[in-house]
């Protein structure tokens, strides 16, 4: 293999993807396995964890699942210790697990707001804190935070999510700042609108069979004129997880089909 392609290899690395049972996390973890990494992933539902292990195996990837609610620091610390014992010290972390609640802000309870921030912002802090010591010990590490277009823009009904993803952008820059000297690179991926279960409600056909208005809106706002797929994110993720990006730090790579650059198609 030529040197430049070798720099994209993840051979011999241990990669943890949180929320790797389906959606974006599953696709990124599978791609890491194809790039040579030893893949571990987590979820907080035992049945989906087992089903995911079967789907990874069917794709030729031996990925081990760990049942863990990433908002619970004790569970996360225990998971990191168990991974270290069973697989090895984590070289690559993708903070992917996340959720959204689409509620008009003045109708959203403080509990709902806190629940979204807990998973989308506090959990990446908790999991990063659990794996950074091992990365320092090994002399290298890669952390990829799955941010969002809502790290840059707002829209109605997603106040908690935008606040959390905006904070995740700054946590990314802070981990870069605090640990760059220990050869840890922390970057973000900001997906555009991607077809996963999380965005399914925005794409459902209308009762009369017509396209969902939001589906039409997003395609008009995206130069690529389509929703992204989880596969659109795998190459950027492998790049940020590999030696090819060793001097890239504190950046958010938007994988959005150009939506953030475009005023939108004239109606």
Pair 120, 98: CB distance under 8 Å: yes
Report the alpha-carbon distance of residue 61 to residue 58 in Å, rounded: 7
Region binding ligand NAP by CB under 6 A among candidate stretches 6-14, 94-102, 170-178, 257-265: 94-102
Would you count residue 236 as binding ligand NAP (CB under 6 A)? no
Task: Give the sign of the dihedral formed by CA 249, CA 250, CA 254, CA 259.
Answer: negative
Nearer to ligand NAP, 83 or 119 (CB): 119
Q: Please identify which residue in 40, 94, 100, 127 interacts with ligand GCO, judged by CB under 6 A.
A: 100
Contact between 193 and ligand NAP by CB under 6 A: the answer reads yes
Q: CB count, 10 Å around CB of 28?
A: 28
- Say which of 56, 66, 161, 254 is annotated catalytic: 161
Q: Closest separation between CB of residue 89 and ligand GCO, Å?
A: 31
Q: Does 71 bind ligand NAP (CB under 6 A)?
A: yes
Distance CA 68, CA 40 (A): 12
22 is catalytic: no
Rounded CA-CA distance 186/237 in Å is: 12
Residues 7-36 that bind ligand NAP (CB under 6 A): 18-19, 21-25
The whole-angstrom separation of Cα 53 and Cα 23 is: 14
Cβ-based nearer residue to ligand GCO, 49 or 149: 149
Q: Give the active site residues.
A: 161
């Amino acid at each position: 293999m030529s040197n430049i392609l070798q720099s994209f290899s993840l051979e011999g690395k241990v990669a943890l993807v949180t929320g790797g049972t389906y959606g974006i996390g599953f696709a990124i973890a599978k791609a890491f396995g194809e790039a040579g990494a030893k893949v571990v992933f987590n979820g907080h539902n035992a049945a989906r964890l087992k089903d995911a292990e079967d789907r990874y195996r069917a794709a030729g990837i031996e990925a081990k699942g760990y049942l863990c609610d990433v908002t619970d620091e004790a569970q996360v610390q225990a998971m990191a210790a168990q991974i270290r014992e069973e697989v090895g010290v984590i070289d690559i972390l993708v903070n992917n697990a996340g959720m959204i609640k689409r509620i008009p802000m003045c109708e959203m309870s403080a509990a709902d707001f806190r629940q979204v921030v807990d998973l989308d912002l506090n959990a990446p802090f908790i999991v990063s804190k659990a794996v950074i010591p091992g990365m320092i010990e090994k002399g290298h590490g890669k952390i990829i935070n799955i941010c969002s277009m809502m790290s840059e823009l707002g829209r109605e009904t997603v106040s908690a999510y935008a606040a959390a993803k905006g904070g995740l952008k700054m946590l990314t820059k802070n981990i870069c700042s605090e640990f760059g000297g220990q050869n840890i690179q922390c970057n973000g991926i900001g997906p555009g609108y991607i077809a996963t279960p999380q965005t399914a409600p925005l794409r459902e056909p209308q009762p009369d069979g017509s396209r969902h208005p939001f589906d039409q809106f997003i395609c008009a706002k995206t130069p690529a004129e389509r929703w992204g797929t989880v596969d659109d994110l795998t190459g950027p993720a492998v790049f940020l997880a590999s030696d090819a990006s060793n001097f890239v730090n504190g950046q958010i790579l938007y994988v959005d089909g150009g939506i953030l650059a475009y005023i939108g198609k004239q109606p």
